[in-house]
Amino acid sequence: MPVVTSSLSEDHQKKLLSLLGNVRLHLLYKASVHGFTALAFHNRCDIQGPTVIVAYNGAGFVFGAYTSKDYNQSGEKVEDEQAFLYSISEGRNKPLRVGGISGQCSFTDEVTGPNYGALVFLHENAAKIESKPGENFTFKAAEMHGGDLALTEFEVYRVEGLGDLLAKPWRNIQWTAEKKQQLMKAIQSYKPEIKTVQQARVLLVGPVGAGKSTFFNSVNSVFRGNMTSQAIAGTAGRSVTTQFRTYTIKAGKGGGAVPLILCDTMGLEENAETGLNIEDIVNIYKGHIRDRYQFSSLTPLQEDTPGFMKQVTLKDAIHCVVYVVDTCKVSLLTQKMLDKFAGIRKKTNLLGIPQILLMTKVDEACPLVAEDLKNVYRSVYLQRKARELSESFGIPLSCVLPVKSYSEELELDQDVDILLLTAVAQMLNYTDSFFENQVIGGQEMIDQQDLYRSNELSRPVL
Ligand SMILES: Nc1nc2c(ncn2[C@@H]2O[C@H](COP(=O)(O)OP(=O)(O)OP(=O)(O)O)[C@@H](O)[C@H]2O)c(=O)[nH]1
Ligand SMILES: [Mg+2]
């Protein structure tokens, strides 16, 4: 799944947001990737609620149309009092905003490209516009697009209202130095309930670029006391992580190991033949895959291949699974990706492994949270995203944890640390639930096969 990125510069985005208010933009469609055709536009932009079109031309104009209504190919003329056309260009400080002529329709909801009368985008199914100022919007062609009707790019974004801050947070977090120390101490002194296991093994699974490796780096940084970047992180079309890695965390330079191993995987992709293979996930769960195993999307590790660890015990197994999802992309998760997660969840439930959903990049998702991380449980927007995730994954809201990882900072920040540590502490609580399930009739089950056989029989569901 190629990563589709916005062509809006920071300055353009700022100017566009000044017209739209307190909102977030989600890129739905980019013509250079998906095609300069009406069909490609409708496939991605129909029934999406409020959207904004962003067209680019060679003369340097960024212009388009906002509507609060759906596109739906109904053939009808749509009236939308909130609709407007706009243009951002070098020559003007403030963007040009053109409201509709009262009593006239805003756009015709046809099978063609978006038809705002005075401006028709993707005209004749091509990278161009038709411009007829005066029809239902009045503007000067020179100010709107400089007379350059050829498009170099064409994007459509969903416009999501951010809402305000809740008067009371939906979860209580103490943002104090004592709380941070308390969490660190609790995590460092964690002891699995099963005698043969010394460390909790927690697996991070999620789409490409969701922030799995960065989450490990951030937790590692908190315990080390300075910024670290042991796991390679970044953005690329494909997963940056291609090996299975099991990371031990040390408290301070040369300090003792924290009883937690964070296992990092290759990113998931929606197609069956790319990204992390589900069969490999199951083998990781059971402990058969070694550190530094090189993932291959098409050929998962087989029992008879060298490198497959046959003799495994409970200490090699995964005790808690963490699904990592980019909060900014929650509403863009495709059905294929959700189906992939559903397949993984089914296997995970069968093995009785507790699951947590980590919502990353909350700072990018909500400006109110970027301003002050303490707003994380007061942001109406993040609460809505947490609920959406909980519903689409079928995971209780209590298992959904928002975090912000260190992505550009050079210094640790107490609030960031507390939110990260809270998530880790919760992972250890869930690990305990896994271990509790392994004690049957007062006997710890050490044999892996017994363990999974019994789980499959009882089919525990989280
Ligand atoms: N602002 C912000 N950026 C983040 C956060 N977490 C991760 N990032 C950025 O997101 C990008 C991808 O992060 P990675 O940790 O490499 O993602 P991954 O899930 O390991 O991706 P693959 O290994 O490619 O599957 C990086 O550029 C990170 O800096 C976050 O909480 N906030
Ligand atoms: Mg990674």
pLDDT tens figures, 31-88: 999 999 999 999 999 999 999 999 999 999 999 999 999 999 999 999 999 999 999 9
Give me 285's structure tokens.
């769960």
Could you give the domains of the chain?
A: 10-161 (no CATH), 177-458 (3.40.50.300)
Name every residue whose Cβ is closer than 8 Å to that of residue 144 and which is 6 or more positions away in sequence: 61, 63, 85, 87, 96, 98, 119, 131, 133
Classify the phi-psi angles of 146: left when phi > 0, otherwise alpha if psi is within -120 to 50, otherwise beta.
left
Nearest ligand 1 atom, CA 204: 19
**Does position 344 have pLDDT exceeding 90, yes or no?**
yes
Q: Has residue 443 got a pLDDT over 60? A: no
pLDDT band, very low/low/confident/very high, at 123 (cuts 50, 70, 90): very high
More confident residue, 297 or 295: 295
Q: How far is the CA of 213 from the centre of ligand 1 (A)?
A: 7
Instruction: Give the strand pairing for 439-440 and 245-250.
Output: unpaired
Which ligand 1 atom lies nearest to the CA of residue 275? 25
- In single-letter form, the type of residue at position 241 comes to T
Q: Token pair of 456, please?
A: 């499959």
Measured CA to CA in angstroms, residue 219 lies from 349, 375, 399, 412 at distances of: 27, 21, 19, 11
Give the nearest ligand 1 atom to 214 CA.
15
Cβ-contact 102, 24 below 8 angstroms? no
Say which amino acid occupies 194. I
CB of 146 sitting under 6 A from ligand 1: no
Which ligand is nearest the CA of 234, by number? 1
Phi, psi of 336 (to 5 degrees): -65, -40
Q: What is the pLDDT of residue 450?
A: 55
- The tokens 């340097």 sit on which residue? 60
Cα separation, 304 vs 432, in Å, equals: 33
Ligand 1 within 6 A of CB of 35: no
The alpha-carbon radius of gyration of the chain (Å, integer) is 25
CB-proximal residues (5 Å) to ion ligand 2? 212-213, 240-241
Q: Cα of 233 to ligand 1 centre, how many Å? A: 6
Q: Is 379 in the pocket of ligand 1 (CB under 6 A)?
A: no
Average pLDDT over residues 274-278: 89
pLDDT given for residue 237 in this prediction:
74
> Whose CA is closest to 155, among 35, 280, 237, 50?
35
**CA distance linking residue 88 with residue 18, whole number of Å:** 11
Whether 23 is in the pocket of ligand 1, judged by its Cβ within 6 Å, is: no
254: its two tokens: 């040369």
Ligand 1 neighbour 100 (Cβ under 6 A): no
Q: Which ligand is nearest to the CA of 360?
A: 1
Per-residue pLDDT tens for 189-221? Answer: 999 988 889 999 999 999 999 999 999 999 999
Q: Which ligand is nearest to the CA of 207?
A: 1
217 has which bridge partners? none
In 265-335, DSSP assigns E strands to 320-326
Amino acid identity, position 221: S
**Ligand 2: centre distance to CA 265 (Å):** 7
Identify which of 27, 356, 381 has the alpha carbon closest to the alpha carbon of residue 215. 356
- Ligand 1, residue 407: give the atom nearest the CA: 29
Query: How close are the terminal C-alpha atoms of the chain, in Å?
Result: 30
